[in-house]
A and B are shown apart, each in its own frame.
Chain A
Amino acid sequence: MIAKAFTGSRRYWSWVTFLLVLAATGFACYLVQFNQGLTVTGMSRDVSWGLYIGQLTFLVGVAASAVMLVLPYYLHNVKAFGRITILGEFLAVAAIIMCLLFVFVDLGKPMRLLNMILYPTPNSILFWDMVVLSGYLLLNIVIGWTMLEAEYKTVAPPSWVKVLIYISIPWAVSIHTVTAFLYAGLPGRHYWLTAIMAARFLASAFASGPALLILLCFVIRRFSKFDPGQEAINKLAAIVTYAMIISVFFIGLEFFTAFYSQVPAHGMDTLLYLFTGLDGHGKLVPLMWLFVILAFIALILLINPRTRTREKTLMVACGAVFVSMWLEKGIGLVIGGFIPNAFNQVTEYSPTPLEMLITLGIWAIGALILTFLYKIAVTVKEEIL
Chain B
Amino acid sequence: MDTSRREFLKLGGACALGLALLPAVKGFAAGTGSPQHLASPKALQGKRWGLVIDMKKCWPRYQEGCRRCFDTCRREHNIPVIDNSKEEIKWIWPEPFANAFPDQEHEFIPADVKDNPFIVLCNHCDNPPCVRVCPTKATFKRPDGIVMIDYHRCIGCRYCMAACPYGARSFNFRDPRPYIKETNPAYPTREKGVVEKCTLCVERIDTGLPPACVEACPAGALAFGDLEDPASPVRQLLKTRYTLQRKPELGTHPSVYYIV
Contact = CB atoms under 8 A, between A and B. Distances in A.
B165 A36 contact: no
Interface string A107-139: 111101101111101011111001000000000
Q: How large is the interface on A (under 10, 10 to 19, 20 to 34, 35 or more residues)?
A: 35 or more
Interface in B144-172: 153-159, 161-167, 169-172
B244 to A, nearest CB: 16
B114 interface: no
A119 B173 CA distance: 24
A39 interface: yes
Contacts of B170: 45
A106 interface: yes
Interface residues of B, number: 50
A348 B191 CA distance: 26
Instruction: Tell me the dominant secondary structure on chain A's binding face.
Output: loop
Contacts of B195: 108
B133 A125 contact: yes
A160 interface: no
B188 to A, nearest CB: 16
A77 interface: no
A188 interface: yes
Given A37-B172, A123-B132, A113 B155 contact: yes
B86 A37 contact: no
A342 B167 contact: yes
A37 B193 contact: yes
Instruction: Tell me the dominant secondary structure on chain B's binding face.
Output: loop
Contacts of B132: 123-124
Interface in A44-91: 44-46, 48-49
Contact of B87 (A39, A117, A337, A344): A39
B56 interface: no
Nearest to A190: B165
A237 to B, nearest CB: 37
Interface in A126-182: 126-127, 130, 182
A70 to B, nearest CB: 24
Interface of A: 36-39, 43-46, 48-49, 103, 106-110, 112-113, 115-119, 121, 123-127, 130, 182, 186-189, 265, 337-338, 341-345, 347
Closest 3 CB pairs of A and B: A108-B156, A188-B165, A108-B193
Given A38-B173, A187-B129, A188-B166, 4 more contacts: A37-B174, A45-B88, A109-B194, A347-B85
